[in-house]
A and B are shown apart, each in its own frame.
Chain A
Amino acid sequence: MKTGRKKGDIWLVTAVLAVALCLFLLLWLLPGDGAAVEVTVDGAVYATLPLDTPTTLDIPGKNGCVGTLVIADGRATVTHATCPDRLCVRMGPVSRAGQSIVCLPGRIVVTVVGGTPAVDGEV
Chain B
Amino acid sequence: MLKRTGCFVLSLLLLAVGLAGCASFSAVSPHKTVWLDLFDTVSSLTVYGVDKADFEAGAKALHTRLTEYHQLFDIYHSYAGVNNLKTVNDNAGQPVAVPSEVLDLLEYGVSAYRRTGGRVNILFGAVLELWHDCRVTALETPVAALPEPAALQTAATHTDPAALVIDREAGTACLTDPLARLDVGAVAKGYAAELAATYIREELGWTSALLDMGGNVRAIGGKPTIGGQTPFTIGVQNPNTDSANAYLLTVGLQDMAAVTSGDYQRFFMVDGRQYAHIIDPDTLYPAAFVRAVTVVCPDSGLADVLSTALFTLPVEQGLALLRQFPEAQAVWVLTDGTLQYSDGFNAYKK
Contacts and interface: CB of A to CB of B under 8 A. Distances in A.
- Interface size bracket, B side: 35 or more
Interface residues of A, number: 36
B8 A26 contact: no
A23 interface: yes
Interface centre among B246, B247, B258, B266 (most CB of A within 10 A): B246
B2 A121 contact: no
B40 interface: yes
Interface of B: 1-2, 4-5, 8-9, 12-13, 15-16, 19-20, 23, 27, 34, 36, 40-42, 44, 46, 136, 139-140, 210, 212, 215-217, 223, 232-237, 241-243, 246-247, 250, 258-260, 264-267, 294
**Contact residues of A: prevailing secondary structure:** mixed
Interface in A55-90: 84-87, 90
A37 to B, nearest CB: 15
Contacts of B42: 100, 102, 104, 109
A116 B247 CA distance: 16
Contacts of A8: 1-2, 4-5
Contacts of A91: 241, 265
Given A122-B235, A123-B215, A23 B2 contact: no
Contacts of A109: 34, 36, 42
A90 B262 CA distance: 13
A19 B242 contact: no
Given A118-B235, A119-B235, A11 B9 contact: yes
Contacts of B294: 123
A104 B36 contact: yes
B25 to A, nearest CB: 13
A122 B215 contact: yes
Nearest to A85: B139
Contacts of B232: 120-121
Interface string A1-34: 0001101100110011001001100100000000
Contacts of B241: 90-93
A83 B210 CA distance: 29
Contacts of B2: 4, 7-8, 11
B139 A122 contact: no
A116 B216 CA distance: 22
Contact of A120 (B4, B8, B233, B267): B233
